[in-house]
Structure 1
Amino acid sequence: MSTRPLRFAAVATAAVLAATACSSSGADGKSEVTVWMYPVIKDEVASKQFWEQAEAGFEKSHPDVDLKIELQTFDKRDAQISAALAAGSGPDIALITPDQAATYRSVRGLLPVDDAVAADREAFFPETLEAATFDGELYGVPLFQNINTTAYNTDIFADAGLDLPTTWDDVLDAAPVLAKKGIAVMDYAGSAEQTLNLSYYPLLWQAGGTVFTEDGKDVAFDSPAGVSALQFLVDLKKAGGLPADAATAGPAVEGAPIATGKVAMRAVTSLPEVGQMRAALGNDSVELGLPLQGKVRATYGNPGLLSLTSINKDENRQSAYDVLAYLGSPSMQASLNKAAGNFPTRTDVKAPGSGPDFKALNDSLKYANPGEPSPVARQVMAALAPYIQAALGGDMPAEEALKKAAEEARGLLSRA
């Protein structure tokens, strides 16, 4: 793939990079390693304190290395990292997702990290390593796992005399019953800014479909499985089973219909969002279940990867490996997951809590899909999202919407 788009991105964000030095040795002879960390811990104050302590802990055991963990925001992360790679100035290590790893690797922006986990590779869950493995080499140390599952407002279902829906058919059956009470059975974040990994794709996987063909050379979301997933949403919308603004709604919980008793369930829910639901509705009114079942059960759950960028210099390579091994260690994972509410990528680290919520989320890990890595994954999402909105808005049938989206996506693939 050409790196021309990255060079353009570098020009556009030069100001961001001006203050960021590439990896080097400091004036005191120490090796310098820079990490770009993103908001794994939602609370800004807690995040700053956590990573400052992480820096200090590493430097205490590695006095010859100056570790700099720089906190970034998710806003424009792709453009920021792409610009850094193109300019050769930025972080040695960056927190990214598997689909980003596929993209950056395709433009030679990442370096393998097998050596960083050589000592304890067997301790990682195989699925988390597989998500970061391309052509037999590992391109990210799995730092944590996200997992999402179904959350219910149990009061709504109890008041309507309904069991908690666990399948698509259950959801469709409950929709008209609740619609008569002015309640949508399920929410959906159709905003174009929302990643499809947390909206349409879980339904696509539940239908037995995939975004791309197995060889990654074509899209497959316009298959009968893809049409059935989108038709499920369209049918729900027609039955009053989705909020009126589902086509454009964002993923927020606070202030949204799910938090005001106007929506009965959320099909893709993270642990922090469960906490927000409980804060709004009451502890006893919210319950987690397994991911919904269409043809199969499936949900989105992916590892956060600490990836080594091509910015890292040969003389700093071992120091970068040491940082990766330290941040991915059992003690660091345990403390990070406790602070962030995520799940471990290692078998020798326990889940960050106990009780029904953690059991439901832990049980859902086996249904997790980390997304489908592709150098054009994000561009395909951007092409597909407006057509899903059009189908939900009644502007075109589900099959036609996906057919038109696939035509655009195939154009992206051919140019890539």
Structure 2
Amino acid sequence: MMSKPTSATAGPVLSRRSLGALTAVPGLLSLAACGGSGGGSSSGDAASLRVVDYYNTPADDTVIQDTLEAVASEAGVTISREKVPGDQLIQKVLQMSSSKTLPDLLMLDNPDLQEIASSGALAPLEDFGIDTSGFSPEILAAGTYEGKVYGLAPTVNTIALFYNTTMLADAGIEPPTTWDELTSAAAALTHDDVYGLAFSAIATYEGTWQFLPFMWSNGGDETDIATPEVAGAAQLWADLVAEGSASKAVVNWGQGDVIDQFKAGKAAMVVNGPWNIVGLQTDAPDIEWDVAIIPVPEQGMDSVAPLGGEVWTIPQTGDAEKQKKAAEVLQRFVSPENQLVMGSARNTIPADIEAAKTFAGEHPELATFVEQVSTARSRTGQLGTEWPTTAKAIYTAFQQVLVDGTDPEKAFADAAATLG
């Protein structure tokens, strides 16, 4: 998930309206193979490391720069950092691999790691003895290819259910926790030009990202999308639209459009991520809101959302000494202490299990996201490099359900058939 604008926080904040933004714009690029095994770095000076990432917004840029400089100093090296626009990063990586100018440290959006690792452009972190013991299995899975960890995420993010506390209070409704409660709450909150619920069902990977919590929580699985559990999640969306509790326009809305509906008071509840919080603060300061776990089919089930965030990798530059130094910097960069610093500055969730618990205690306003992350899953964990094709099949199927009125079981069976 790419980074969005964020506000650094000086300490614990008592209202979720005063949060800064997290990261995450779900996106997934289908990559061509880099070819070969990477290339040599342009400089053989092991005292200076070249870093490439896409953090170009003020708070992200500042905390990443400060943290990298601090850990580089501890390792006795300096860094030279290049910031590439997010939508250009993968093409840039391909070019650098071809020209043998890969950097010493490379940040990737986690869904892209599988493709880059499969090309041979990245080094397994075990080659350098990097300790990954504090990371949860699912967060490690986001940086793993064929059983080896190639990238580590210092912090992560996900999506949850934002709700207008005033609207729910006026209607005498508690935040929904199950699909039945979500359905009834959305219906009760719909009136005039206000919809009870908004979500993104756009025909892009962004739409699939929003569909996953419903699919996964219902027992659906990306390894076989032609199942009643997957179809059931699509049926929930279809029913909400058919009943008028969600707008027919959800098929055209990205997550930015969804949060705009919330800001305008046109939606009482929305599925979204904390990267939009700064916009809420700035554009709709009078709206009182809070965040809840995404509802599950039945009480007692786990709400399983997708993991967003970036992983940091060590490319195959051919310079063993620089790779060794890059590994030392990376180990320091992802320490629990630095995770807490970066999480606090960017309002992202530390990837280290114990650090996340500490973070939740220090930032109670983010406890919902910590809880949602604790059961979240990597998008590429099971399918690896096959994930982009399946993600497209998923959004193609639910678009057929919502736009054409196709029966969900048929739509997903047809989509599964295209996967072979």
Please state which band the TM-score falls in when normalised by the shorter chain: 0.7 to 0.9
Q: What is the match of residue 108 of structure 1?
A: 120
- TM value normalised by structure 2: 0.80
Quickly say closer, same or farther: Cα 1:303–1:250, change in 2 above 3 A: closer
1:183, 1:262 within 8 Å by CA — same for their partners in 2?
yes
CA distance in 2, matches of 1:165, 1:255: 19
Q: Percent identity?
A: 20
Q: What is the match of residue 222 of structure 1?
A: 226
1:112, 1:139 within 8 Å by CA — same for their partners in 2?
yes
For 1:48, the aligned partner's letter is D
CA distance in 2, matches of 1:47, 1:180: 39
User: Among residues 341, 361, 372, which one is paired with 2:380 in the alignment?
Assistant: 372
- Structure 1 gap ranges (5+): 9-20, 213-219, 411-416
User: Among residues 275, 283, 298, which one is paired with 2:304 in the alignment?
Assistant: 298
Q: What is the match of residue 124 of structure 1?
A: 135
For 1:246, the aligned partner's letter is V
What SS does structure 2 have at the residue aligned with 1:6? Answer: coil
What SS does structure 2 have at the residue aligned with 1:277? Answer: helix
What SS does structure 1 have at the residue aligned with 2:314? Answer: strand
Quickly say closer, same or farther: Cα 1:160–1:384, change in 2 above 3 A: same
For 1:334, the aligned partner's letter is L
Q: What is the match of residue 70 of structure 2?
A: 57
Per-residue Cα deviation, 1:273-323 (whole angstroms, up to 9, x for no partner):
344335545477211222211253222234532122234533422112122
Q: 2:326 matched to 1:308?
A: no
Correspondences of 1:268-347 after superposition (within 5 Å): 269-282=272-285, 285-295=288-298, 296=301, 297-302=303-308, 304-347=310-353
1:190, 1:250 within 8 Å by CA — same for their partners in 2?
yes
CA distance in 2, matches of 1:348, 1:366: 11
Per-residue Cα deviation, 1:5-41 (whole angstroms, up to 9, x for no partner):
4369xxxxxxxxxxxx952435xx44443222223xx
Give, in angstroms, the shift of residue 126 of structure 1.
4.1
Correspondences of 1:208-287 after superposition (within 5 Å): 208-212=219-223, 220-252=224-256, 256-267=260-271, 269-282=272-285, 285-287=288-290
1:248, 1:389 within 8 Å by CA — same for their partners in 2?
no
CA distance in 1, matches of 2:416, 2:205: 19
CA distance in 2, matches of 1:203, 1:160: 25
User: Among residues 398, 403, 410, which one is paired with 2:413 in the alignment?
Assistant: 403
Quickly say closer, same or farther: Cα 1:109–1:200, change in 2 above 3 A: same
1:51, 1:69 within 8 Å by CA — same for their partners in 2?
no
Q: 2:190 matched to 1:179?
A: yes
What SS does structure 1 have at the residue aligned with 2:101? Answer: coil
Give, in angstroms, the shift of residue 209 of structure 1.
0.7
CA distance in 1, matches of 2:394, 2:190: 29
Per-residue Cα deviation, 1:59-100 (whole angstroms, up to 9, x for no partner):
43334x342222222214443334433443332332224432
For 1:25, the aligned partner's letter is S
Q: What is the match of residue 47 of structure 1?
A: 60
Q: What is the match of residue 139 of structure 1?
A: 150
Quickly say closer, same or farther: Cα 1:318–1:55, change in 2 above 3 A: same
Give, in angstroms, the shift of residue 179 of structure 1.
3.0
Q: What is the match of residue 384 of structure 1?
A: 394
Greater shift in the superposed pair: 86-95 or 151-160: 86-95
CA distance in 1, matches of 2:62, 2:163: 34
Query: Relative contact order (alpha carbons < 8 A, sep ≥ 6): 1 or 2 greater?
Result: 2
Give, in angstroms, the shift of residue 115 of structure 1.
4.8
- Structure 2 gap ranges (5+): 1-29
Q: 2:81 matched to 1:69?
A: yes
In angstroms, what is the RMSD of aligned CA positions? 3.0
Q: What is the match of residue 16 of structure 2?
A: none
What SS does structure 2 have at the residue aligned with 1:36? Answer: strand
CA distance in 2, matches of 1:48, 1:134: 28
Quickly say closer, same or farther: Cα 1:355–1:89, change in 2 above 3 A: closer
Q: 2:50 matched to 1:34?
A: yes
2:394, 2:412 within 8 Å by CA — same for their partners in 1?
yes
Give, in angstroms, the shift of residue 199 of structure 1.
1.0
CA distance in 2, matches of 1:152, 1:327: 35
What SS does structure 2 have at the residue aligned with 1:309? Answer: coil
CA distance in 2, matches of 1:322, 1:57: 12
Q: What is the match of residue 169 of structure 1?
A: 180
Greater shift in the superposed pair: 258-267 or 232-241: 258-267
Quickly say closer, same or farther: Cα 1:178–1:5, change in 2 above 3 A: same
CA distance in 1, matches of 2:266, 2:196: 9
Give, in angstroms, the shift of residue 254 of structure 1.
8.4
2:72, 2:329 within 8 Å by CA — same for their partners in 1?
no
Per-residue Cα deviation, 1:157-194 (whole angstroms, up to 9, x for no partner):
22223232211111222333333333222211123344
Alignment size in residue pairs:
381
Q: 2:35 matched to 1:23?
A: no
CA distance in 2, matches of 1:352, 1:86: 43
1:24, 1:316 within 8 Å by CA — same for their partners in 2?
no
